[in-house]
Chains A and B, each alone.
Chain A
Amino acid sequence: MSRVFAPRSPRAAIVGVAESDLGYTPHRTVLQLQAQAARAALEDAGFSFDEVDALFCAGNWSWSPTLTLAEYLGLRPRYSDSTNIGGSSFEAHIEHAVAAIEAGLIEVALIVYGSTQRSDRSRGRVSPTYRLTEQFEGPFGLPTPVGAYALAAMRHMHQFGTTSEQLAEVAVATRKWAMLNEKAMMRDPITIEDVLTSRWIAEPLHLLDCCLVTDGGGAVVLASAQRARQARKPPVWVLGHGEAHTHATIANMPDLAVHQAAIASGQTAFAMAGLRPEEIDVVEIYDSFTITVIMTLEALGFCPLGEGGAFVSGQRTAPGGPFPMNTNGGGLSYCHPGMYGIFLLIEATRQLRGECGPRQVSGARLALAHGTGGVLSSAATVLLGKD
């Protein structure tokens, strides 16, 4: 059940964002990428490391990533949060950081992510043993996460008549945005036919329905309203936030055709902000796979359940279309270092600041960043706005 909040004046704002090197970075460790992103985000904010009093990060490169990273960066945070609910963790970190700011515990939070999964070739490694809840799924050989999203896509097609062409619309439109972003890894145009004739990974998902596997990192600086007014650039206010999770293993997802975690996180965030989906100018939605986007659009209320396929058809989400979405080129074409959520916040902030050059959505005042983690397990929604 989502709670209902009365809209109120924002208490916190994003004041700094940055990426590290992206793509293939065998010359960098996962700590170097995070140091690079953290420094650049603090410079973007006009803040120093000494002003940071809370550290948020998520990753599987350390048993306690905030301990390791704080020591490495020379930070002694008085608030620490390494919540890991998958790729949506960083949207959840925003919620947790705003709550800590409202409670008066902190003033400046640094949220950081980094991964060298591509250089490490760690993707797709099979566990040495299947323990605890893994023992009932692992032995059958489903490649995760892609196989789990394929099971959801098959069910969505069965229940709502969604087609492979509709899934492909997402990949094609997202590539068009990537062509406008010089940092995007994949910038050659593709067609719906290209998606449909790319090789099967797990039916009904083709290669071009799947996100990239890259290295990379990012950082976001969040500050209290008072501190945000001292930042180098205009604040990007957090107007609403929500998070939820419903399951961990795909066989335990309550309904494989409905992203229930996103329904809950979206309702909470929109109620808190006092906004409706149709008021949002630019939308950044986690695109681990094309089906993720369609199910999330439905869950957040941009269209009714089951109509996500029709909603994205006719390249409505492409540059110049009526629904600008995933404007950096997304996890499908820009970068995807394992947990993509931090990049949704970075792009939404840049769009509201008007920093996006050829891909700028003109007049954008309200943005949504929505992360999905695990196997459609978790969701966290953040609504942002400028003065």
Chain B
Amino acid sequence: MSEEANYALPQSDPESAPYWEGIQQGELRIQRCAACQRHVFYPRTLCPYCHSDQLAWVSASGRGTIYSYTVVHRAFGPFAAEAPFIIAIVELEEGVRLMTRLIDAPRERVRIGAAVQVSFEQVSGRPPLPFFRLAE
């Protein structure tokens, strides 16, 4: 029980700092490779597709679709008190996938392929994170 409210925080580092600064400013930042034109997430020094180092930060649209999801009924540590909640892997319009949590999403409306939109939310007093909401 002592673990409750004791959320671990993501540790920003020299490579991810622009991503977390974007979150603070309400902007979802990903990288784009100037050599092969593909978008990249999470941030890297070398493009994982063509291994160029010509990666630049861009602002993502924040629009995407649900690639897969799960309703979590049993979570660990401080997250236990938040269950049930819905974790999704979202595929952004730019083609990258990321993990997120869906909020204000009625279970019966959540399906693979559903349109979603990023929403920067502070939950349980934590710093803002890129959650997603159903777009309709």
* Interfacial residues, chain A to chain B (CB-CB below 8 A): 124-143, 147, 150-152, 154-155, 158, 199-205, 249-252, 256
Contact = CB atoms under 8 A, between A and B. Distances in A.
B1 interface: no
A155 to B, nearest CB: 4
B72 A135 contact: no
Contact of B68 (A135, A136, A141, A158): A158
B112 A158 contact: yes
Contacts of A203: 70-71, 73
A323 B78 CA distance: 43
Interface of B: 3, 7-13, 16, 41-42, 67-79, 82, 84-85, 87, 89, 97-101, 112, 126, 129
Contact of A126 (B8, B98, B101): B8
Contact of A199 (B73, B101, B129): B73
A130 B74 contact: no
Given A151-B89, A158-B112, A143 B11 contact: no
Contacts of A135: 10-13, 16, 42
A251 B42 CA distance: 10
B74 A202 contact: yes
B89 A251 contact: yes
A130 B42 contact: no
Contacts of A252: 97
Given A136-B99, A154-B112, A250-B89, A129 B76 contact: no
A127 B42 CA distance: 20
A129 B112 CA distance: 31
Contacts of B10: 129-130, 134-136, 138-139
Given A124-B76, A126-B76, A154-B70, A140 B129 contact: yes
B11 A136 contact: no
Given A128-B8, A129-B11, A158-B112, A139 B70 contact: no
Nearest to B12: A135
Contacts of A137: 99
A343 B80 CA distance: 32
B67 A141 contact: no
Contacts of B12: 135
Nearest to A257: B68
Contact of B87 (A124, A125, A140): A140
A250 B73 CA distance: 19
B15 to A, nearest CB: 9
Contacts, number: 117
Nearest to A249: B99
B99 A142 contact: yes
Given A140-B99, A141-B85, A143-B72, A125 B77 contact: yes
25 contacts: A125-B76, A129-B8, A135-B12, A136-B99, A137-B99, A139-B8, A139-B129, A140-B101, A141-B75, A141-B101, A143-B72, A147-B72, A150-B70, A151-B68, A151-B70, A154-B69, A200-B74, A200-B84, A201-B73, A202-B70, A202-B71, A202-B74, A202-B87, A251-B89, A251-B99
A135 B13 CA distance: 10
A155 B69 CA distance: 8
A256 B89 contact: yes
A126 B126 contact: no
B75 A140 contact: no
A143 B97 contact: no
A137 B97 CA distance: 11
A155 B8 contact: no
B11 A251 contact: no
B76 A151 contact: no
B22 to A, nearest CB: 13
B29 to A, nearest CB: 12
Contacts of A155: 67-68, 112
Contacts of B75: 141, 143
Contacts of A134: 10
Contacts of B3: 126
A240 to B, nearest CB: 30
A139 B131 CA distance: 11
Contacts of A158: 68, 112
Nearest to A135: B10
Given A250-B99, A256-B67, A131 B73 contact: no
A267 to B, nearest CB: 23
Contact of A200 (B71, B89, B99): B71
A142 B42 contact: no
Given A129-B11, A147-B87, A203-B70, 6 more contacts: A128-B8, A140-B101, A142-B70, A147-B72, A200-B74, A256-B67
